[in-house]
């Protein structure tokens, strides 16, 4: 960005109704950049007010950085701990499923295809009762 990009457009001398040497003096005062104008606005405020605003901004930025770092660390601890705690459980469940599949496969090989289906009922399931049969208590 060059200085010319930051310049504020000044009214031309032809658009003013004044004539004479004073018309060009006003145009010379407007030859300042936007950053110079903003810096000039800071001179309106007392130095204590400017320092207070700077301190507030500096404290806010430091707080945001601190909270961001704390959040990152916290998430790392949570995800690493959950991976360490739950990975063995997941592996053990997978191992049990593989053992059950191997047992069913061996039963099917030894007893035929109907053995794997008939012997694989879950423990809570009962065969259907005939209409005249009473449940045992």
- Exposed (0-12), middle (13-18) or buried (19+): which is 32, by Cβ within 10 Å? middle
Q: How far is CA 33 from the centre of its chain?
A: 39
Phi and psi for 132 in degrees, rounded to 5?
-90, -5
Using the predicted structure, report yes or no on whether residue 39 has a pLDDT greater than 80.
Answer: yes
Q: What pTM was estimated for this model as a whole?
A: 0.43
Q: What is the DSSP letter of 43?
A: T
Residue whose tokens read 């191997």: 102
Domain boundaries, the chain: 26-115
Distance between CA atoms of residues 63 and 70, nearest Å: 10
Using the predicted structure, report yes or no on whether residue 27 has a pLDDT greater than 90.
Answer: no
**Closest C-alpha among 2, 6, 60, 5 to residue 38:** 6
* Cβ within 8 Å of residue 27, ≥6 positions away: 10, 11, 13
Across the range 29-37, mean pLDDT stands at 82
Each residue's pLDDT tens digit, 64-123: 999 999 999 999 999 999 999 999 999 999 999 999 999 999 999 988 777 655 555 555
Distance between CA atoms of residues 45 and 105, nearest Å: 85
């Amino acid at each position: 960005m060059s200085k010319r990009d930051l310049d504020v457009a000044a009214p031309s001398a032809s658009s003013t109704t004044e004539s004479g040497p004073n018309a060009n003096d006003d145009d010379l005062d407007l030859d300042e950049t936007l950053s110079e104008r903003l810096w000039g606005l800071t001179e309106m405020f007392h130095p204590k007010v400017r320092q207070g605003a700077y301190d507030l901004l500096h404290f806010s930025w430091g707080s945001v950085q601190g909270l961001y770092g704390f959040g990152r660390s916290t998430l790392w601890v949570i995800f690493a701990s959950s991976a360490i705690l739950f990975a063995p459980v997941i592996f053990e469940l997978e191992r049990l499923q593989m053992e059950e599949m191997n047992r069913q496969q061996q039963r099917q090989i030894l007893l035929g295809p109907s053995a794997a289906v008939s012997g694989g009922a879950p423990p809570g399931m009962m065969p259907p009762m005939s209409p005249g049969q009473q449940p045992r208590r």
